[in-house]
Amino acid sequence: MPVSLQDKLVVAISSRALFDFEEENRVFDAQDPRAYMRLQQERLAVPARPGVAFPLVRKLLAFNAGAAQRVEVVMLSRNDPVTALRIFRSAQNEGLALERGVFTQGRDPFRYLRPLGAHLFLSANERDVSEALQLGFPAARVLTESVAAGINYPNELRIAFDGDAVLFSDEAERVYQTGGLEAFVTHETSKAALPLSDGPFKPLLAALHQLQQQGDAAGMRLRIALVTARSAPAHERAINTLMKWNLAVDEAMFLGGLEKGPFLREFEPDFFFDDQTGHVSSAARHVPAGHVRSLPGAA
């Protein structure tokens, strides 16, 4: 039988999200990438330093124990095949069991998300992330300036999500943008029992929930938080939506517009996803963060 990733949580990740290639990236020229490729080739024997999403990947792969291979992480990169040597060698040096990768040498990599059946795509390239979202795949632009993840929970993977325009559709957010806070509260209170439509990251939440339901593996646990600017009474619709989906989060923070960064610092997620640039920039000062770009005309 052919090999399949169907029963696994599949994460596709770019090289700059997994490793710190910021120095190499400064010499990159899309019109003539030869200097970049030459530099990477010169450094084949030099292991790359871990990047922003490295702790997330390490913990995801830690759920694979023995026959219970629950997670697959695949490199999906605009790098050339020679640079792939350095990437896989660096992963091996760090003890990461990465086996698969697609390296397109400057061509669009996001088209390979479909055959992979990816539940998440992480990249430092904003255009690739936007195209992936357009195709219907959960994707976020990794803020490479984010601080590193905390080390207080080595056996617990922690992921935090914003609500509107991330887990949920941007319906309510558009009401807020056009009508202000009072219109938003009125809208959400009147529709408290009506579930919100799916947001771009619902498939990832569902996949994580399934991983969580499978129980601990190799001593690893999963904890999920909803961190939203909503407050009472608008919190009801968010909770009712999750209940309707038969999905759950372990923690919920209804912050009513308070800055999210300090709260995320206390939760210590291995990654946080938000669509608002202000919130994600605040978060990046405390935790690894990714920007989920809102799609034009999204429902």
Active site residues: 162
- Dihedral through CA 65, CA 66, CA 68, CA 72, nearest 10? 70
Structure tokens at 273: 């996803």
Q: What residues pair up with 122 in beta bridges, in sequence order?
A: 13, 140
CA angle 179, 183, 185 (to 5 degrees): 140
Classify strands 100-103 and 120-123 as parallel, antiparallel or unpaired.
unpaired
* E-only strand ranges, 78-209: 100-103, 120-123, 139-142, 156-161
β-pairing, 251-254 vs 221-228, is parallel
